[in-house]
Amino acid sequence: MEANLADALRFALDIALKSTILLIGTAVALLLLKRASASTRQLVATLGLAGTLLLPAATLVAPRWQIPLVPNPVPVAMKRLPAPAPDAPAPRVERNAVEAQTEDIATPASGRAITGIDEPGQPLPAAAPVVAPAPPARFPISRPTGMALLLGLWGAGMAFSLARLVLGAARVRRVCRLASPDAGGEWDGLIAELCGKLGVSHPVRLLFSEDLAVPVTSGVSRPVILLPGTAHRWNDERRRVVLLHELAHIKRADWVALVIGQVAAAVYWFHPLAWSIRIQMRRDCERACDDLVLASGTRASVYAAHLLSIIRSLRLSRQRALPAVAMARRSYWDGRMRAILDPGVERRAVSPGRARLAGGVLLAAVVVLAAFEPWSARPAEAVAADASGFRASSDSMAVGEPDSAPAPDAVVTVSSDSESNSHSPCTGNKEAPVAFAPEVPETPAPAVSAEAAEVPAVPAAAIGPEVLQTPEPAEPAAPVSVPVSKKKVHAGSWYQRGMELHNDERYDEAIAAFQHSIEEGEKVDAATYNIACGYARKGDTARAFEWLQKAIDEGFDAESYLRHDDDLDSLRSDPRFAKIRQAARENENAGNRAQGDRIAARYERLKAAPAARGKAFYDVGKDLLDAERFDLSAQAFQTSAARGYREGASLYNSACALSRKGDRSRALDYLQKSIEAGFDDPDLVRKDEDLDNVRGEPRYRELLKMAEDLELHRFDDFGGHKKWLRSTRVAAWREVEQHFDDYTRRHPESARAWFNLGYARIEGDRPAEAVTAFQKALDRNYRKSTTMYNLACAYSLMDRKDEAFRWLFQALDAGFQDGNLRGDEDLDNLRGDPRFRQALSRTKSHDDWSD
């Protein structure tokens, strides 16, 4: 291994160890400061991450303070030996411990060489290669090579993470370049007032961008506050709290902390503590700014309400993460809400003196860690073992030219790493300690005396060439069959094992597993059918038909499987297969009749219950439709619509039931009623098989055209597609508004058209005009509670709170239970009013957070 690679590996390990010590210390400090202010915790986390970035440079320049604690896993770099001169004798290879022992036995003090065991006195032939016992097999990848790969992986991950950071910074610049600076006089005056209040001396630019869903801050010397395009619709209270929060980020230089955290996470991307501390730092950064906003005099409940609304807006946003300080993140909101509303939380900011003291402590810790040298010297055996791993792959220990033959007096060892031994045959003799030399002539080995056979520990150097002949290869062992119980089958029930075995085409074992499943009472009908499939796959038709009949008797719905299951292909030409299919159809029909009778009885009981809700009738209507009780199904859906449950869908399903019955006229009547009531899926009207009986009617084509003209669903994505520029989105909704305005001129009696027109006007930033359209829809009794709610939204956007709350409470009294009050941005202007809490207490919502 080259010296510079060894140095790089040691330096990387050194930095990894020291950064781990620093990160552990930071994590312990954060744990001890659990009850301290968010500002204090964020400072500690930021300093800890900054320390890990200073460590590499400090380690290069700091003096060494060696305290050997950990063995150094990196081998010492080996030096290349010069090649011998042409006339010089070949150098001897440095002996290892085994070679030394071998030579001592081969050449005693008398100077006479010990010869073969059977014929004492025979000199050792000069050309006979002498081999040493093979060392244990090494791992395919040596330790230095593996560490070099880890070093490359570290660098690649760092480069990827830093590239993402650079691309994110480029996106921030792009957003700033495309953003609109037209803040208006009210924004300029407000930001000047708040800068003076917080003591922000830098000039702050205020920009508006449609590419953002939440406010963000970027920069230090020339800070920028980027607001979403919807900020123009905010009331004065929200503008104040949002700007206070963003100016708090600027005052505290949080953008610098953000960059430090992201760079540290990029450099130490593999380290879980780096990511954990970075996340904690960002969370405390937001809470520290919240504390500054509350310290400025903002009420906690008002601030929490505005913050929650901004966080909820992220649900429809596709905004990607930016290297900028964002006001709201969905992953942090729960803890922030509790911290904002808890009066006992510590909120004191860190004084400049304490910040300087903390920085000095960090600097001292970095210097001590940089000077600290924890690596102990490596044992000689370990260094030699690591060095040997490089002899086969480099020329650092080259002896002469590769083609030259060894000198006669040179001792040559053949190790298991060498190329010559890498293809030697396996003898099967696990007791023999020798490694055979290559290219041994294929001559039969002479008999070895019993005395020689009893001395397996004699070193190879003392064994004559006769003994070193390659033995006859052992007969290959017979393949061992693995019992079924030993084969890999995922743990689970017998039924699951049977399915896996069947898929592996181990049908006998699968049948046995399915029988166990039947004995345990698990999925008896399906297991019985699968046994039939197994016998069919095996070609045992008699048993396959026997078990198919058993499956039908168990109540298995075999009809669809008998049509398509390729496991049964071997049975289809048999006359018995047609009989089995007939029996399956009869069993299915009988089951359907019995099931239809049970559902019809349930429907009759439901009609007798005066308090039954519309949803119950809707559910039983679906079951009756599946059971082909079309009259009762149509009646159930009509009752569901009359009781206010999903009126459009209920009427549409009633039309489907009547169509399947063959009552075309009534089916078309209810299809028209469903479209007028708001059923908004013309594609389903076009493709639904249940309406096949009415497609040939001219009136059907007219109703399909009506459904397409009144469809609002296809336009609804304009409002949620946040990556659209605001002007583009508003222009799109203005075109939708024009479409429905034209339709209402042609069909002024269409309540749904008036409702859709009001919806388009709200999305097109024309709430005053939307009020007129919604009022016309309400006059025609179109979806009363929803229309009243939308009137409340329109008045809220106009900042007319009294009218907004009047319509909101009327919508709740009429049964509005959409549960969207908490997240609807159109109601943001109402959230600071005490009446909004009363409205929340009256709506039934699945959201378990209470304002």
CATH number of the domain at 691, please: 1.25.40.10
Give the structural domain span for 752.
Answer: 714-842
| Same domain for 810 and 743 | yes
- Please answer whether residues 755 and 782 qualify as being in contact, where contact means their C-beta atoms are separated by less than 8 angstroms: yes
Which of 674, 709, 744 is at the close of a domain? 709
**Distance (Å, rounded) from C-alpha 34 to C-alpha 24?**
15
- Please answer whether residues 776 and 755 qualify as being in contact, where contact means their C-beta atoms are separated by less than 8 angstroms: no
Q: Are strands 216-218 and 224-228 parallel, antiparallel or unpaired?
A: antiparallel
Identify whether 613 is part of a domain: yes
Hey, which residues does 207 pair with through a beta bridge? 226
The pLDDT of residue 814 is above 70: yes
Instruction: Residue 741: name the closest of 727, 755, 726 by CA.
Output: 755
| Same domain for 753 and 704 | no
Which of 655, 682, 709 is at the close of a domain? 709
91-105, pLDDT tens digit by residue?
A: 444 444 444 444 444
- Confidence at residue 651, expressed as pLDDT on a 0 to 100 scale: 95
Burial letters 309-339, b for 16+ CB under 10 A, else e: bbbbbbeebebeebbbbbbbeeebbeebbeb
Mean pLDDT, the chain, rounded, equals 75
745-785, pLDDT tens digit by residue?
A: 999 999 999 999 999 999 888 999 999 999 999 999 999 99
Structurally, how many domains does the chain consist of? 2
Distances in Å between the alpha carbon of 218 and those of 19, 195, 795? 28, 16, 35
**Distance (Å, rounded) from C-alpha 124 to C-alpha 324?**
81
- Confidence at residue 11, expressed as pLDDT on a 0 to 100 scale: 83
Identify whether 416 is part of a domain: no
Identify whether 338 is part of a domain: no
**Distance (Å, rounded) from C-alpha 598 to C-alpha 653?**
21
Which of 709, 724, 750 is at the close of a domain? 709
- Confidence at residue 240, expressed as pLDDT on a 0 to 100 scale: 87
- Please answer whether residues 778 and 788 qualify as being in contact, where contact means their C-beta atoms are separated by less than 8 angstroms: yes
| Same domain for 809 and 757 | yes
| Same domain for 721 and 700 | no
- Confidence at residue 357, expressed as pLDDT on a 0 to 100 scale: 92
Identify whether 805 is part of a domain: yes
Distance in Å from the first CA to the final CA of the chain: 65
Ramachandran region, residue 183 (left: φ > 0; alpha: ψ -120 to 50; beta: rest): alpha
Identify whether 687 is part of a domain: yes
Return the structure tokens found at 316.
């429809």
DSSP, res 331: G
- Confidence at residue 120, expressed as pLDDT on a 0 to 100 scale: 45
**Distance (Å, rounded) from C-alpha 102 to C-alpha 96?**
10
Identify whether 298 is part of a domain: no
Return the structure tokens found at 74.
């990196």
Q: Please, what is the Cα angle at 124 between 120 and 125, to 5 degrees?
A: 135
Instruction: Residue 541: name the closest of 573, 511, 516 by CA.
Output: 573
Identify whether 620 is part of a domain: yes
| Same domain for 753 and 802 | yes
- Confidence at residue 315, expressed as pLDDT on a 0 to 100 scale: 46
For residue 816, give the 3-state DSSP assignment.
coil
Mean pLDDT, to the nearest integer, of 798-806?
A: 93
The pLDDT of residue 686 is above 60: yes
**DSSP assignments along 275-321, one per residue:** HHHHHHHHHHHHHHHHHHHHHTT--HHHHHHHHHHHHHGGGG--PPP
723-744, pLDDT tens digit by residue?
A: 444 556 677 888 889 999 999 9
| Same domain for 748 and 837 | yes
272-282, pLDDT tens digit by residue?
A: 999 999 999 98
| Same domain for 838 and 722 | yes
